[in-house]
Amino acid sequence: MRAAGTTSRITAKTRVIGLLGSPVSHSRSPVMQNSVYEAMGLDFVYVAFDVGLDRVAEAARAVRTLGLRGANVTMPLKRAILPHLDALSPAARLAEAVNVIVNDGGTLTGHITDGEGFMLSLAEAGVAHEGRHMVIVGAGGAGMAVAVQAALDGIGKVTLLNRRDAFFDEARAHVDRLKGHVDCPVDLADLDDPEARATALRSADILVNATPIGMEGSEDEMALPDLAALRPETVVCDLIYVPKETHLLKEAARRGCKTVSGLGMQLYQAVPAFKLWTGHDMDIGVARRALFGGAR
């Protein structure tokens, strides 16, 4: 523990936590985490490292070699890093993805807190999920994490939509493996098939974008080519938090839908991660102010 508010608080003893992925320059996690360490007097520092798929093995080795306390893992590494870890939490094993690594003396354990963060953000927005149909666009790391947590938390049905590319069969195999471990129906449909898209949209109570389409650089795009079948009763969520209101959310709001941005998820996924790394409960008020500037 250190005194809060010191101006040169980083010393030779400061523990380092990394953010691994690409791109990472948009991430607000460093500002949020460092604000909380400072406010709580914890001797940690959080730094973003731009690491692509081609360097995932080196990045995992670097966490061990340089003695980082741990890391957040973001796209495109959430699955790719699995073979380089020593152990997985039960939820990470089900989601087959990690967003948090904890380094205990060179042993790397992967955890997934994205799904928990998303479900907490839904609850904060006053969205009831029990028994509802959730349609998730994108069966990548975050999409599967949300599907797993929603299923564990009592959602009625999950439909994942993914484009039919080289990853599709892998996603189908993953969904089949999941079926033995959760109580609700989970299926995978083809995002490139207009009929499959329309069927999913018509029955969606909660629609979630779990693709990067709509982030800075693709602000005017949506992974769903059209929203004609979307009902105004559907709650539309985007896991993207920069920009705060994506093209999808703007279009959904225009159709009268309630919308939920990825900002709440970003806050709440950090809570269990913070505890795993530091052993302390995160000061949510400080984290919220760092992320949202006191606007929420």
Site stretch for ligand NAP (CB under 6 A), options 41-49, 128-136, 181-189, 209-217: 209-217
Whether 78 is a known active-site residue: answer yes
Q: Is 233 in the site for ligand NAP (CB under 6 A)?
A: no
Residue span binding ligand NAP (CB under 6 A) among the ranges 104-112, 158-166, 229-237, 277-285 = 158-166
Sole binder of ligand NAP in the list 70, 115, 140, 272 (CB under 6 A): 140
Work out how close the CB of 159 gets to ligand NAP at its nearest, in angstroms, rounded to a whole number: 14
Helices 263-278, 114-124: axis angle to 10 degrees equals 130
Nearest approach, Cβ of residue 177 and ligand NAP (Å): 17
Distance in angstroms (rounded) separating the CA atoms of residues 134 and 35: 34
Q: Answer left, alpha or beta for residue 110, where phi above 0 means left and psi between -120 and 50 means alpha.
A: beta
From 13, 78, 250, 275, active-site residue: 78
Q: How far is the CB of 1 from ligand NAP (least distance, A)?
A: 28
Q: Is 72 in the site for ligand NAP (CB under 6 A)?
A: no
Q: Which stretch binds ligand NAP (CB under 6 A): 1-9, 49-57, 62-70, 138-146?
A: 138-146
State the Cα–Cα distance between residues 231 and 250, nearest whole angstrom.
15
Site residues for ligand NAP per CB under 6 A: 74-76, 78, 114, 117, 138-143, 162-163, 165, 167, 210-213, 215, 223, 239-241, 262, 265-266, 269
Q: Which residues are catalytic?
A: 78
